Amino acid sequence: MSIARRSGELVLLPVLDPGAAAPFYELLGFVVTSEDHEEVVLEKPGMQLVLERVDELEKDNGRPRIEVNVDIDILDRVWRTDGRDDPTLPGPTLAPEGVFEYRARDPSGNRVRITAPLPEPDR
């Protein structure tokens, strides 16, 4: 893995299979910059994400392991995909800080808080 970083935040995320988890994060706007059997490194403006292989995930106690800010259309796409798999899931909600949020799970089962700013009003 390269030591040079262009991103603002570095997040190390345990996953069961980095290659299987990467497409989920690509859907959230990340781009794979390097990969091998043990880890996949992805980047998007302001964040570098390293998916690290583990044999077993620790319990998350209901809290998201990572928060990713995306455009509203990406949040909607993730929710609709999840909704097709389980129609009982609640959709995005308006969070107290004035963003839409949706809590998803990546292929390893990590909870991911996906947030999107409110759309700009039409003028």
Q: What's 9-54+63-117's CATH class?
A: alpha beta
Question: Has residue 3 got a pLDDT over 50?
Answer: no
Render pLDDT for 66-104 as a digit per residue (tens, 0 to 9).
999 999 999 999 998 888 788 887 889 999 888 999 999
pTM of the model: 0.86
Dump strand ranges (E) for the chain.
9-15, 31-35, 39-44, 47-53, 66-69, 93-94, 99-105, 111-117
Residue whose C-alpha is closest to residue 39's, from 29, 49, 28: 49
Distance CA 45, CA 80 (A): 25
The pLDDT score that the predictor gives to residue 123 is 67
Q: What is the DSSP letter of 93?
A: E
Average pLDDT of the residues of the chain: 89
Domain spans, the chain: 9-54+63-117
More confident residue, 86 or 18: 18
Question: Has residue 7 got a pLDDT over 90?
Answer: no
